[in-house]
Structure 1
Amino acid sequence: MKWEQAIQDYRKYLKLERGLSENTLQNYQRDVEKLIGFIEGDTDMPSPLSIDQETLSAFVYELGKSVAPRSQARIISGLNSFFNYLTFEQHRKDNPMELIESPKLGRKLPDTLSVEEIDSLIRAIDLSKPEGERNRAMLETLYGCGLRVSELVQLRISDLFFEEDFIRVTGKGNKQRFVPIGGVNQKYIELYRHQVRVHQEIDKGHEDILFLNRRGRGLSRAMIFTIIRDLGEKIGLRKTISPHTFRHSFATHLLENGADLRAIQQMLGHESITTTEIYMHVDRRHLSSVLEKYHPRR
């Protein structure tokens, strides 16, 4: 089996069996391609079925010289998944990544914005321009519903259930969930839809996409990053922010105000509660207030 065929079969498996998105498929493929780039200069270039632990250890060692520990750990995880697939399909008898350890990582706490900082960013939007109403509606949706940027750009008009105060969100692995949406957020989406979007010429195939660019097509994730970065610079914010910062802020503010962790997990679309538990470490004042309020000895 050649590397090209192995990658092709692996991608089909990830898409059909695990239901992963195209972005995730590309990330997994890049992990394997990095390994191929390391070995392709060898006179005896090993195949996916013959490559051994020694070669993989050398690759990981070289990787550590140029890649941050977190990125290194992700690539190791991707390769581990690739060789697990080959053993699962009985192409190999063993997984040569099995004994290769990832670098030890400290838990990275998410960056958050205060309510005042979020208000400042939204106030900085130029509403005199047609895209102003769109940008305000997008930021309010990121913060008001805790969406991932990929979920925001995929949001459709047919996903809006405002009579029930919910939106339908398509998350990782094309898994759908319903997320509550507040009246303020609904108001800004409706303003954008009926004052701006209704006057746009929409490209064929994008009629149901909620947030559109000037050419009447769906926005890219990179465009959302740029909009948020520019607003941060405009107000002189001394933080590195991204669309995900709004998602972190959504979860953190809910937790600080007494929301149940399980409810936050459902709204964020986390498969495991341990992923949501990282927000317990963001502001320990919340833990003290819970103890003061609920413990019988207090």
Structure 2
Amino acid sequence: MNNEWQTYIKEYQNYLKLERGLSDNTIANYTFDIEKLVNFLIEKNIEVSPIKIGEDEVLQFIYELASKVNARSQSRVISGLKSFFSYLIFEDYRETTPMELIEVPKTGRKLPDTLSTSEIDGLIAAIDLSTPEGERNRAMLETLYSCGLRVSELTNLKISDLFFEEGFVKVTGKGDKQRFVPIGPSTEKFINLYRNEIRNHLKIQKGHEDTLFLNRRGKQLTRAMVFTIIKDLAVKIGLKKTISPHTFRHSFATHLLENGADLRSIQLMLGHESITTTEVYMHLDRSHLRKVLSEFHPRR
């Protein structure tokens, strides 16, 4: 039985890679979900192929899973299995899915704290600009917030990625996908100040010549260092929220939405593969939706 499962899993992996263009990491996660089911069947001595497995066996597996993992992990496994059985139907191996009656548990998706514009201003104002690192940190936080970057996108930013004349920066996101994000004149000004006043005087290590944000040893900053800088500033101003570099990205999206930006534009700027990921922001603060309705609906 195991070999039969492996054959179908292999075909499914090829489909995910060639037809869906998914990364190796994502494919590994999808496979991991199916292997959990296979291991359960082996453990319980249930001999059934992917073509013959029914709702009863899958339900048994889900009940056992629910006793071991939290709602979010259950949700991911169920979603992975739904995708696998949909593929088997798509390829005419099955006519129906054994996942029909299985509901994804509500996870109440936890969202990070959002900073108000005055809190962001307060954090940036607390930076000690009398130190070389201060100029760099101001430029970094301004870039995080005004471009909505992930922390790894910020630390990997290259000088050759800056297209200030056109008003954009080129960002390399998850799965090496590249996107162009608009950048405002004030953020450009802070980056240029850092480049001309601070970065120019550093002894830059080999291989880091094109890296924009450097530590004092002339190397690329680590993600952990950016976390520390932000945590220290929060302590300095007595901010009681749990914040991280991602809070700036989250605030970028929330503030755009609250000020009337459309989800599709926000999705493109954040580099979300699916609009569903961006839609999470719709659940934060619905007060602006009433304004949108009264302003744009013909029956207002």
Instruction: Compute the TM-score of the two structures, normalised by the length of structure 1.
Output: 0.73
The 1:105/1:200 distance shift into structure 2, 3 A limit, reads same
Structure 1: distance between partners of 2:221 and 2:10 = 29
2:55/2:99 contact within 8 Å kept: yes
Counterpart amino acid of 2:249? R
Q: Return the match for 1:68 from 70, 88, 104.
A: 70
Instruction: State yes or no: 1:199 paired with 2:202.
Output: yes
Q: Which residue of 2 aligns with 1:176?
A: 178
Q: Return the match for 2:246 from 238, 244, 247.
A: 244
Structure 2: distance between partners of 1:215 and 1:82 = 49
Per-residue deviation, 1:166: 0.6
Q: Which residue of 2 aligns with 1:143?
A: 145
Per-residue deviation, 1:109: 6.0
The 1:19/1:200 distance shift into structure 2, 3 A limit, reads farther
CA root-mean-square deviation: 4.2
Per-residue deviation, 1:181: 0.1
Per-residue deviation, 1:174: 4.3
Structure 1: distance between partners of 2:215 and 2:266 = 31
The 1:221/1:54 distance shift into structure 2, 3 A limit, reads farther
Structure 2: distance between partners of 1:224 and 1:17 = 37
Counterpart amino acid of 1:199? L
Per-residue deviation, 1:163: 0.8
Per-residue deviation, 1:253: 1.8
Structure 2: distance between partners of 1:243 and 1:89 = 43
The 1:291/1:208 distance shift into structure 2, 3 A limit, reads same
Structure 2: distance between partners of 1:31 and 1:241 = 31
The 1:7/1:296 distance shift into structure 2, 3 A limit, reads closer
1:18/1:173 contact within 8 Å kept: no
1:20/1:174 contact within 8 Å kept: no
Structure 2: distance between partners of 1:16 and 1:207 = 36
- Provide the secondary structure at the position in 2 that maps to 1:72: helix
2:202/2:218 contact within 8 Å kept: no
2:215/2:221 contact within 8 Å kept: yes
Per-residue deviation, 1:212: 4.5
Structure 1: distance between partners of 2:92 and 2:210 = 43
Structure 1: distance between partners of 2:94 and 2:136 = 52
Q: Return the match for 1:254 from 248, 256, 268.
A: 256
Per-residue deviation, 1:186: 1.5
Structure 1: distance between partners of 2:50 and 2:220 = 38
The 1:38/1:226 distance shift into structure 2, 3 A limit, reads farther
Structure 2: distance between partners of 1:96 and 1:209 = 51
Per-residue deviation, 1:71: 3.1
User: Does 240-249 or 120-129 show the bigger shift?
Assistant: 120-129
User: Does 79-88 or 90-99 show the bigger shift?
Assistant: 90-99
1:19/1:173 contact within 8 Å kept: no
Structure 2: distance between partners of 1:218 and 1:9 = 41
The 1:259/1:35 distance shift into structure 2, 3 A limit, reads same
Instruction: State yes or no: 1:104 paired with 2:106.
Output: yes
The 1:92/1:150 distance shift into structure 2, 3 A limit, reads farther
User: Does 87-96 or 189-198 show the bigger shift?
Assistant: 87-96
| TM-superposition CA deviations, 1:156-191 (whole Å, max 9, x none) | 322211111111223455443322101121123233
1:203/1:215 contact within 8 Å kept: no
Structure 2: distance between partners of 1:32 and 1:207 = 45
Q: Which residue of 2 aligns with 1:188?
A: 190
| TM-superposition CA deviations, 1:185-216 (whole Å, max 9, x none) | 11232334342376243353x54443455676
Structure 2: runs of 5+ lacking an equivalent: none
User: Does 283-292 or 231-240 show the bigger shift?
Assistant: 283-292
Would you say how many aligned residue pairs link Structure 1 and Structure 2? 297
Structure 1: runs of 5+ lacking an equivalent: none
The 1:129/1:83 distance shift into structure 2, 3 A limit, reads farther
Q: Which residue of 1 aligns with 2:115?
A: 113
